[in-house]
Amino acid sequence: MSQEFDLPIYSGRQLWHYCTYSMSCSGLEERVDSSPMRKFPGYEKGILAAINTLRDDVDRHHLWVFGSLCWDAYVEGSDSERWKYAAQTVEFLQLRLSFQDKPDKWKERAHNLARFAVWEVRHRNPPDMSESRPALFTTIILSKAAGVADPGNFRRDAGEPWDYLCNELESWVGKALEPLAKWIESKEAA
């Protein structure tokens, strides 16, 4: 028999955001289950345990950092935390760039665009499941960051590194949500 929650679960992004409204998540059970007769012990612990499998895994820690930047309500509410997690994500991304078998000019452009790609992909994947959003950065801004003199030539000169960065981060989005998707499936199957 499937459990019914007062909070409709649409996505792992929404769940990650909702669960992190407080540092301890101690009040989540009351917010999620507003009916006093229905209690699901360990509801919030299961969510946080799923999220923390990423944090505690050295090979997947970057996914937890990026997921926290995108969907953590605590990080969203703190400028210093948001910048800290963004800087860490850029570092992880730039480390990956160093292993790419690409020309130095490509790597330089990708390196310069990394911080913009982090904010762009975060913007495209909000916790509220918005359908579509306009691009966060104009071609003029991205051209300046990439060192492309004519913004009209951005796609030709820096489109490949930009696409690589955005695609890599989009893959991180999916991988970061895998533990929550499994948790949601287990709750729906219970």
Of residues 31 and 1, more confidently modeled? 31
pLDDT of residue 107: 96
Q: CA angle 149-152-173, nearest 5°?
A: 95
25-64 pLDDT tens trace = 444 443 444 444 444 445 556 788 888 899 999 999 999 9
157 closest CA partner among 148, 168, 169, 166: 148
22-33 pLDDT tens trace = 544 444 443 444
pLDDT of residue 87: 97
Round to whole Å and give the CA distance between 167 and 75: 23
116 closest CA partner among 104, 127, 124: 124
Q: CA angle 111-52-75, nearest 5°?
A: 60
pLDDT of residue 90: 97
Task: Report helix, strand and coil shares of the chain as percent, to nearest 5.
Answer: 70, 0, 30
Contact assessment for residue 128 and residue 14, using Cβ atoms and an 8 Å cutoff: yes
